[in-house]
């Protein structure tokens, strides 16, 4: 299992939209609609933001959305807010009861 590929960093100004990509293979992202995204603030527990590619768990702002095309999944955050500044990780089910994560993306709100 190889890690999913994410950009190391992205940035945007308040109110703007940003997109974080997550590229896997036909064995993980491309095979299953089971991509999830996690937000992690320093020293805090990771928080589930998106599951099953594009579903938002209860309580998650609709500013967060997910999508997938082929072997690449994406997380879009619209209307950026200062509180969105955090690390974001994608994760995909990889079959046979195993999971693979991305390397993480640091989002900076300018």
Partner 1 sequence: QVQLQESGPGLVKPSGTLSLTCTVSGGSISNYYWSWIRQPPGKGLEWIGYVYYSGSTKYNSSLKSRLTISVDTSKNQFSLKLSSVTAADTAVYYCARHTDTTYDFDYWGQGTLVTVSS
Residues facing residue 22 across a β-bridge: 73
Among residues 73, 75, 100, 107, which is the contact residue for partner 1, using CB under 8 A? 100
What helix, strand, coil percent values describe the chain, rounded to 5? 5, 50, 50
Residue 3 makes contact with partner 1 by CB under 8 A: yes
Residue 57 makes contact with partner 1 by CB under 8 A: yes
The dihedral region occupied by 54, where left means phi > 0, alpha psi between -120 and 50, and beta the remainder, is alpha
Residue 91 makes contact with partner 1 by CB under 8 A: yes
Residue 34 makes contact with partner 1 by CB under 8 A: yes
Alpha-carbon 4 to chain mean position: 11
> Binding residues for partner 1, per CB under 8 A?
1, 3, 6, 32, 34, 36, 38, 43-48, 51-52, 55, 57, 89, 91, 93, 96-104
């Amino acid at each position: 299992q190889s890690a999913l590929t994410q950009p190391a960093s992205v940035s945007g100004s308040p109110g703007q939209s940003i997109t974080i990509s997550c590229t896997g293979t036909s064995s993980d992202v491309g095979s299953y609609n089971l991509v999830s995204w996690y937000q992690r603030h320093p020293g805090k527990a990771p928080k589930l933001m998106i599951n099953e590619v594009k579903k938002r768990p209860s309580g998650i702002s609709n500013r967060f959305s997910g999508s997938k095309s082929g072997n690449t999944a994406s997380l879009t955050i619209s209307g950026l807010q200062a509180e969105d500044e955090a690390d974001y990780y994608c994760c995909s089910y990889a079959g046979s009861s195993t999971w693979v994560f991305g390397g993480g993306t640091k989002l900076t709100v300018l």
